[in-house]
Amino acid sequence: MALVAFSVSVYAQKVNFKIKGSDTVLPLTQKEAEVYMKKNPGSTIMVTGGGSGVGISALLTGTTDIAQASRSLKLDEKMKLNDAGKAFKETVIAYDALAVIVNPGNKISKLTREQLEGIFTGKIKNWKEVGGDDMAIVVYSRETSSGTYEFFKEHVLLKKNFASSALLMPATGAIVQSVSQTKGAIGYVGLAYLEKSVKAVEVSFDKGKTYTIPSVETAKSKKYPITRPLYYYYLKTTDNRVSPYVNFVLSPEGQEIVLKEGYVPLK
């Protein structure tokens, strides 16, 4: 009986802390926190978005306990934490596929990495240049504080700059809404944000030999080329306070929530 009691209560502990950062991770953290608080009455976990950079800055200034991020820490961020004597922990909590989305009225359904680079850097300005209708391309992107922006720039644009005409949006939901309302639009969002009002395109990273649609299955099998880990960062001094919750997220039950919310579990 004692064994059973231990296994049930291993993640049970009243907690009180703040989580801030990545909009990509936001829906997942909100759900995980909601379930944790139901299981542990009296717990308070405040969850807000704003972007990975915002969360990491908040960790530096002590205004959040956990920074949620869709990218790893940059060298200068690590140095700032080290200089401030703030030893930190990095925990991968799930994986995500980054979906390229267009308006459902757009006949384009597949694009190569090279075409994406041309579109998002502004070299390709009309859909007819990639086999679509004669229609101006409207590029939507996350703003520069977003880890998703950083990841897309590095892995899809190969560190080239976004077009100056790109419309920078403060939140992922705003990209979904804008693309759904604009026929010539294109943007990129985390897998969990995909909905019927937009269309995900198949992507090729081998110059058009194979195209893959973003999904939990293709991300898990590593067939889809734009996948990335999602992180929690927190200070070692707060480890005891936040670890019951972090361990819950990493537990089989927490990873089941990862899957249900449209993200990719660790195993």
Q: What is the pLDDT of residues 211-229, one digit of tens each?
A: 999 999 999 999 999 999 9
Please state, rounded to an integer, the average pLDDT across all residues of the chain: 94
- What is the topology classification, in CATH, of domain 2-95+229-260? D-Maltodextrin-Binding Protein; domain 2 (3.40.190)
Domains 2-95+229-260 and 96-220 are alike in CATH topology: yes
CA nearest 183: which of 124, 132, 141, 129? 132
* DSSP 8-state code for residue 201: P
Radius of gyration of the chain (CA): 20
List the domain boundaries for the chain: 2-95+229-260, 96-220
**Does residue 263 register a pLDDT over 70?**
yes
- β-strand 202-204 against 110-112: which pairing, if any? parallel
Per-residue model confidence (pLDDT) at position 76: 96
Give the integer Cα–Cα distance in Å for 206 and 203: 9
**Does residue 6 register a pLDDT over 80?**
no
Burial group, residue 140, by CB count within 10 angstroms (0-12, 13-18, 19+)? buried
**Does residue 262 register a pLDDT over 50?**
yes
Q: At 86, list the tokens.
A: 């703030």
In this structure, CATH architecture of domain 96-220: 3-Layer(aba) Sandwich (3.40)
Per-residue model confidence (pLDDT) at position 3: 40
Give the integer Cα–Cα distance in Å for 78 and 81: 5
Give the integer Cα–Cα distance in Å for 49 and 63: 13
For the whole model, what pTM was predicted?
Answer: 0.90
Give the integer Cα–Cα distance in Å for 70 and 146: 8
Three-class SS state of 204:
strand
Range list of H helices, the chain: 2-9, 26-39, 52-61, 75-83, 113-121, 147-155, 172-181, 216-220, 239-250, 252-260
How far is residue 137 CA from its own chain's centroid?
Answer: 24
Q: At 106, list the tokens.
A: 């757009």
Q: How far is CA 253 from CA 148, 250, 264, in A?
A: 26, 8, 14
